[in-house]
A and B are shown apart, each in its own frame.
Chain A
Amino acid sequence: MEEALRPRLVSAEKPGDGQALAAASDAELTEACRRGSQAAFRELLSRYRKPALALAYQMLGDAEDAEDAAQEAFVRVFQAIPQFRGQAAFSTWLYRIVTNTCLGRLRRKREKVSLERVSEPRSADSPSQQVTDALMTRQVLSMMSPTLQTVLLLRVEGGLSYREIAETLGLPMGTVRSRLSKARTAFRKLWLELSEMGDG
């Protein structure tokens, strides 16, 4: 199968021929990347930049930090791709790298970040309900423990299955299940608390 793929992806190195790449699966692109295909790496970047950025943003709460983290994660992906043997889906592997990158950044500045977020004004210029909700969501996520926050974001933002989350975080499936349940309950509780604070 690999032999059949190679000409298709090699031909995609020619400028203007993006169709073969667009049709290729993640596994095919990863394989081509391992063989040194720049075009395949560019295609993976274009497929996953937005979800990787969204996950990083939800974890870090700052768009600029999220960009840096997502970019750092892609560089790590590039560096580690020769060792990637396709044991997991590319997306699972990428999200694991994004998660670890963000957790590392959070560990370095968790205290400062959470204080800033909590003190963020909720309705400085009477923003729309959507903006207020988005700000509150960010606040709630930042107040959750990193373990609960991570499983919830991998599920909701990354769209990973329980098995994939378990692989990503190196946890048993049962733990993922119970953490997700706790994470949702915690989210709801914090949301209600913040809503009451805002009303009162």
Chain B
Amino acid sequence: MLACRLIQKDLSSYLDGELPAARAARLEAHLRTCQRCREEMAALEGISDQIRAASRHLQVSRDFDQRVLRAVGYYQVTRAERRRKPLTKPLVVIALILLALLGMIRHFFSRTLALPVRSPAAAVSGLAPAASGAAMPDRDRSQR
């Protein structure tokens, strides 16, 4: 038991390859005969993998370097970025104009289609002959 306790104190250094050779040899000899210490070592061995796995998903953000370089005064806008910037604004403006035009066209057609349909009598009395003819060509033709 005392041997186990002493050995277990050295397990961490042994796993890290930082145990002096003589102590490492003694520890290995003990491990060959002690199941409990072998289990203890296996459990400690997994800790490093667990810790590394916890940060494996970590992604460095795209502007990491940029933010550091800006803070130290090393950041310069590249030519490509300079070219990219002026293009963005006009594209947004053009898109907005197109959207506004589309909205106006839609509004215009929705108003035209929503005009109330007049009765034939009202059309005859209220409209000029040319206009009523244009509105109801089939009926005019049959009357003739």
Q: B-contacting residues of A (Cβ < 8 Å)?
A: 38, 41-42, 45-46, 49-50, 53-54, 57-58, 63, 66-67, 70-71, 74-75, 78-79, 130, 133-134, 137-138, 141, 152-153, 155-157, 161-162, 177-178, 180-181, 183-185, 187-188, 191
Tell me if B18 and A134 are in contact (CB < 8 A).
Answer: no
Alpha-carbon separation in the docked complex, A141 to B50 (Å): 11
What residues make up the interface of B, taking CB atoms closer than 8 Å to A?
9-13, 16, 18, 43-44, 47-48, 50-55, 57-58, 60-61, 64-65, 67-69, 71-72, 74
Q: Provide the main secondary structure of the chain B interface.
A: helix
CB nearest to B11 among chain A residues:
A181
Q: Which of B12, B65, B68 contacts A184 (CB 8 A)?
A: B12
Interface contacts (Cβ under 8 Å), in number, total: 95
Please, could you name 19 A-B residue pairs with CB atoms under 8 Å apart, sorted by A?
Answer: A42-B65, A50-B60, A53-B60, A54-B55, A57-B58, A71-B67, A71-B68, A133-B53, A137-B51, A137-B54, A138-B54, A156-B47, A161-B18, A162-B16, A180-B13, A181-B12, A181-B13, A184-B12, A187-B47
Q: Which of A46, A66, A71 has the most CB of B within 10 A?
A: A71
